[in-house]
Amino acid sequence: MNIRKILFILVLLGILSMPYFVGFGADAGHNDFVGFLINPIDGNSYLAKMQIGLRGDWRFQLPYTAEPGKGAYLFLFYIFLGHLCKWSGLAPITVFHLARALSGGILFFALDYFFRIFFAEESPELAQKSFYLAGIGSGLGWAASFLGMLTPDLWVPEAYPFFSAYATPHFSLGMALLLLIFTLSLQNGNMYQFITMTIAGVLLAIIMPFGMVIVALVLGIQWVWRMLESRKFIWQPQIFSLLLGGVLLLYQYWATVTDPVLAGWNKQNITPAPPVWEFIIGFSPALVPAIWTIRDQWRAGAGEKNKLLVIWVLVGAGLIYFPFSLQRRFMFALFVPVAGLAVQGLMSLLVDKKIRQRLWLVLLILSLPTNVFILLAGLFGVQTQNPKLYLTGDEKAALDWVSQNTEEDALILSSPEMGLFIPAQTGRRVLYGHPFETVDAEAEKGFVESFYSDRFDSIQEEKFIDELGIDYVFYGPREADLGHFDELDDLVPVFNQGEVTLFAVGVQ
């Protein structure tokens, strides 16, 4: 990798971090930026997982559920980041963004390495163009948004390298590991590569389990295809290097179906694929020449390396629309092979080199605006002090008090909006706070809203608090928006600042 590309990656990482710097710098004294500009529901859940490590544990228990269950060794990446917070003394959101920036850098280096190896026998130009398109490109969601459509390039970050590096560290690092495994699979196998692939497979299974499924299917199908063409058994050590990661996948699946609490969470964890037309728009314009390339290679017989990208796209598209509950998860990193095939298609056109160059520039230019839209949307959230991205000063002070003065297993009743922040900021549990990670989420949300909207009488409220074992009741502006509840006899205010009061239950 040359100096120019290293500088390009550093500038790119700066651009990706700039909206967050603006967010932290724009705290208006009375509001406090929580640190997320895209999908704050999941973002706060990552901080809640880090809180598990911060208190010294390794076993994941649902922080957004009244009864967390015995838990299992899941989400170890974020729990490990929590341990880093404990060891370093840094705040969880600081460690999160340091990990996001570092993982983003690793991803872009892995992306460049992948394409340089993939196109090593063809030309450096193909590798360079594929890297730039995959790294900073996206779909036509920017155009579709004017028609009121929300295509995946605007809300599914794990499918695109740029968006992944902007959103979370585990998307970026998982994508980098996936690319590393595929890159090593393209080279002549030796013991070093076998060991590296084994380690990468284990880490991928921990950080991004769905990526491990994609790797196994793509390499497995490529292996079978090769044997069918040669009509003989071919020893493929790369496949067997993934077995240990596969064992971890099986453990994670076993844990989520055998633990009653985790099974309740998993039952709600439904991520359907977008409609086909939105998928097409979200991966176009690159998808058009990519499909053309797949057709040509299918007719002519794809070479050994080209099989990888073709199978990757076909496997991804097949899994996305396979009838099961986790379809969208398999869009992970899909823009990478689409970009590589698109560049191949454009550069193979039997036209003048200058025309090919112009077509490439048109493709790249059309692929850029969506990512600009994403960055501007984050800045707009900062400018408007969106309450999904900000806590009020009183709320932040109350959460600081909770962190310092309550038991680690305390259960807090709050509004649904505040319930998202409490586990992320304090590590304490809530009755409701997350549409997936709160077991029986709709019912629990209904109970919470009924409590604050005064649909319960005082006897019902006392019974509600007592039966659920609630330790504290949070009342601030978000709760006031739902209505008003009568202060009960066994609720004792233990914190009061401005618009926020925290009540302890049963304290004399």
Report CA-CA distances (Å) from 168 to 173, 289, 327, 461. Answer: 9, 30, 20, 39
Per-residue pLDDT tens over the stretch 441-464: 998 999 888 888 876 666 666 767
β-pair partners for 493: 503
Q: What is the DSSP letter of 496?
A: E
Mean pLDDT taken over the chain: 90
Which band of pLDDT confidence, cut at 50, 70 and 90, is reported for residue 507? low
Please say if the pLDDT value at position 436 is more than 80: yes
pLDDT given for residue 490 in this prediction: 72
pLDDT given for residue 140 in this prediction: 97
Per-residue pLDDT tens over the stretch 40-59: 999 999 999 999 999 999 99
Per-residue pLDDT tens over the stretch 382-416: 988 899 999 999 999 999 999 999 999 999 999 99
Please say if the pLDDT value at position 28 is more than 60: no
Question: What's this model's pTM, rounded to 2 decimal places?
Answer: 0.94
Phi, psi of 502 (to 5 degrees): -115, 125
Mean pLDDT of the region 280-292: 95
| Nearest C-alpha neighbor of 99 from the set 56, 137, 45, 46 | 46
Amino acid at 434: H
Q: What is the CA radius of gyration of the chain?
A: 25
CA pair distance 328, 318, nearest whole angstrom? 11
Phi, psi of 392 (to 5 degrees): -70, 160
pLDDT given for residue 488 in this prediction: 65
CA pair distance 84, 78, nearest whole angstrom? 10
Mean pLDDT of the region 358-376: 95
Please say if the pLDDT value at position 114 is more than 80: yes
Which band of pLDDT confidence, cut at 50, 70 and 90, is reported for residue 99? very high
Two structure tokens written together for 167: 């959103």
Two structure tokens written together for 324: 């099961």
Q: Are 407 and 471 in contact (CB under 8 A)?
A: yes
CA pair distance 17, 91, nearest whole angstrom? 17
Q: What is the DSSP letter of 491?
A: E
Report CA-CA distances (Å) from 149 to 273, 291, 426. Answer: 15, 23, 37
Mean pLDDT of the region 224-245: 79
Which band of pLDDT confidence, cut at 50, 70 and 90, is reported for residue 362? very high
Which band of pLDDT confidence, cut at 50, 70 and 90, is reported for residue 283? very high
pLDDT given for residue 491 in this prediction: 83
Two structure tokens written together for 178: 């996936």
Please say if the pLDDT value at position 10 is more than 80: yes
pLDDT given for residue 415 in this prediction: 95
> Strands 500-505, 491-497: parallel, antiparallel or unpaired by DSSP?
antiparallel
- E-assigned strand segments in 20-129: 31-33
Dihedral sign (CA 433, 439, 442, 448): negative
pLDDT given for residue 303 in this prediction: 66
Longest dimension (CA), the chain: 85
Q: What is the DSSP string of 221-234?
A: HHHHHHHHHHTS--
Two structure tokens written together for 159: 């499918």
CA pair distance 138, 158, nearest whole angstrom? 12
CA pair distance 308, 225, nearest whole angstrom? 11
Which band of pLDDT confidence, cut at 50, 70 and 90, is reported for residue 225? confident
CA pair distance 396, 377, nearest whole angstrom? 24
β-pair partners for 463: none
Which band of pLDDT confidence, cut at 50, 70 and 90, is reported for residue 231? confident
Instruction: Report the 10 Å Cβ neighbour count for 409.
Output: 11
| Nearest C-alpha neighbor of 99 from the set 196, 176, 179, 211 | 176
Phi, psi of 373 (to 5 degrees): -55, -45
Calculate what percentage of the chain has a pLDDT beyond 70.
94
Two structure tokens written together for 279: 């998928």
pLDDT given for residue 126 in this prediction: 92
pLDDT given for residue 508 in this prediction: 52
pLDDT given for residue 474 in this prediction: 95
Q: What is the DSSP letter of 506?
A: S
Per-residue pLDDT tens over the stretch 288-329: 999 999 988 776 666 667 789 999 999 999 999 988 888 899
Residues in Cβ contact with 130 at an 8 Å cutoff, skipping those fewer than 6 apart: 115, 118, 119, 339, 340, 343, 344
If DSSP codes are grouped into helix, strand and coil, which group holds residue 495? Answer: strand
Q: Are 375 and 19 in contact (CB under 8 A)?
A: yes
> Strands 429-430, 411-413: parallel, antiparallel or unpaired by DSSP?
parallel
